[in-house]
Chain A
């Protein structure tokens, strides 16, 4: 039966090719779409697994770039039991590199306390150095930088060379490579130099990186930090609501929001504290959420970002942060599922159409088979074999082309995307294609199965 089904397909090349093509395109699309999600999952997992310590950010801030915390809170963190090192970080966006506007992929300037960073047991960037050296005490107050191999490649820089960073000169002293497109977007410089260059509020930092005396104590240290800060008042980060308003010109408000965000990123200060900061005489409020008028949109956002309001900071290990990111990925999965479903429906209709055409072309043949004693079950089996073979063939080709496409995209845009078609994804796609082929062939098979032999012969 299998041989007969195969020879039927091989002898109807045009029809079989069309059906194969429909399935191949759909399955390749499915592999492509899901490889985006899998790639992001993999990057996230790989990236966050490299950071063993604890991140302390402003409550609600999605990434350190948007977070603002008072600089003096670092001292409070140091006093928490089990804390070994507290590294303040300042994150600003790199807008111009060598006179070129940087939009995509984004580049970030990270200001670190060089001495503290070098004291960490495990330090990102420092432990991933591939060329030159990491920043040391001699670099404090200078504009020496360490950047990733991908940025170096893009800018064609050599060690010791100077280049323009946000309009000011910087000198390359070291190159790191983590292999993660989420991490390899960072340029590291002394925290004081970044603060000066970005005119960053002297009383603020973006975030803190905390290393516990033992990584196994991270959970306890996190709880202790929360206990210390519980009840302390401070603003939580809120995204600007103006872009959500449908009554305003969306383009205009988006540009305004972008403008405010860029300004805040380069000259930001800590959140306004209801309680006077201990080391600052005047609280500054230039956080990204400048709009203090509480709107309905704000309330909705508040509901979405349900956190413990009594704690003004977000304290998490990188793993937890990665899980949060994973939740976002599952939403993306759902969107991909919808997109793939649309593609699959179109492909399934194509296969049904092709199989129906095939069956109607072969009405006489089916009549002859039934005249020769083929039962309904046999006819059903034959057509199901054919559609199953098409499903398998389409699945194999779709997986192959989809996989090759991910490799091409990865090679073509190494710094921008990382697609990953896992063996599980490929196996699932192949299985799905076979099931789809079988289901798509079912209707024409049932239609053919029900025909009386003479009806079939006469119709032909």
Chain B
């Protein structure tokens, strides 16, 4: 992978592991990449490094797991990939364009149209019912009947056809996470970022969430990056990135 400047915009040229994807097109290779990524959190006067010069790349349509112990920088990486935070150094490159070079409205557009987030604690809005929670990204623009129907269809797809009008406090943890999945997928994102999506669920609900996530991944060919330290939900051919102390320890493919 190398970064080149093209008309004032940094672009990434990525050479993937040749054994892994021999037939990757250039567009696929440039889908998502990070270079020398550093993030330092401030705790009062103290600097706490979360990422220390991390570089890696993600292929379009792949299903990725970022693994590692607590404090290894997994969630921080995810937030930087989703432009929810700014890196202290280094660069994140989406489809050949550096996120740093995006203006504020472009970053909003990136988060609204191209990235779907699934959080550990679901992060649904308490004041809205399931359908409206799915529609949250598009509320400011106004909701068309088509869009609302698509939200309903997605909820039905994740098995919540009987919970459409329910508010979050009337849904179980697994149901709330399925609403969050529907919300992330409504925009038909190219990238889904999931931060410990089963962290607050029992194993049965967790398995169910992953079943829906993989089903939608298959249908929409979405690139999925899941941060977790729970390896129960790994499947064959999933790409694994192992992090420790803010660095990439190794990357491999799960053999099932």
Contact = CB atoms under 8 A, between A and B. Distances in A.
Interface stretch (B9-17, B123-131, B242-250): B123-131
B254 interface: no
A1 B117 CA distance: 21
A354 to B, nearest CB: 17
A408 interface: no
A364 B123 contact: yes
Contacts of A1: 139-140
B84 A457 contact: yes
B229 interface: no
A365 B125 contact: yes
B86 interface: yes
Given A10-B127, A11-B127, A455-B85, 10 more contacts: A1-B139, A4-B127, A371-B84, A373-B108, A375-B108, A376-B104, A381-B140, A452-B86, A453-B84, A454-B79
The 9 closest A-B pairs by CB, nearest first: A373-B112, A454-B85, A11-B127, A378-B140, A372-B137, A375-B108, A453-B84, A373-B111, A454-B84
A359 interface: no
A370 B111 contact: yes
Contacts of B153: none
Interface string B124-153: 011110001000110110000000000000
Contact of B136 (A10, A11, A367, A372): A372
A368 B140 contact: no
Interface string B55-90: 000000000000000000000000100101110000
Contacts of A381: 140
A11 B126 contact: yes
Given A378-B140, A454-B79, A457-B84, A373 B127 contact: no
Contacts of B128: 4, 7
A8 interface: yes
A372 B104 contact: no
A372 B140 contact: no
A369 interface: yes
Nearest to A372: B137
B183 interface: yes
Contacts of B110: 373
A376 B104 CA distance: 9
Given A4-B128, A364-B123, A454-B79, A374 B85 contact: no
B82 A371 contact: yes
Contacts of A373: 108-113, 137
Interface of A: 1, 4, 7-8, 10-12, 364-365, 367-376, 378, 381, 452-455, 457
B8 interface: no
Nearest to A379: B140
A371 B139 contact: no
A8 B127 contact: yes
B92 to A, nearest CB: 13
Chain B interface size range: 20 to 34
B125 A371 contact: no
Contacts, number: 69
Contacts of B79: 453-454
15 contacts: A4-B132, A7-B128, A12-B127, A368-B136, A370-B108, A372-B112, A373-B108, A373-B111, A374-B112, A374-B137, A374-B139, A375-B105, A453-B84, A453-B85, A457-B119
Which residue of A12, A370, A371, A453 has the most chain B CB atoms within 10 A of its CB atom? A371
Given A7-B127, A368-B123, A375 B85 contact: no
Given A1-B140, A452-B86, A368 B108 contact: no
A363 B163 CA distance: 27
A1 B183 CA distance: 17
Contacts of B136: 368-369, 372
Contacts of B126: 11
A368 B125 contact: yes
A244 B103 CA distance: 69
Nearest to B140: A378
Nearest to A375: B108
Nearest to B139: A4
Which residue of A365, A367, A452, A453 has the most chain B CB atoms within 10 A of its CB atom? A453
Which residue of A10, A365, A373, A457 has the most chain B CB atoms within 10 A of its CB atom? A373
A228 B85 CA distance: 89
A79 to B, nearest CB: 82
B71 to A, nearest CB: 14
A370 B109 CA distance: 10
Nearest to B121: A364
Which residue of B84, B86, B126 has the most chain A CB atoms within 10 A of its CB atom? B84
B193 to A, nearest CB: 9
Contacts of A376: 104
B42 to A, nearest CB: 11
A65 B151 CA distance: 80
Contacts of A364: 123
A110 B105 CA distance: 78
Interface in B89-122: 104-105, 108-113, 117, 119
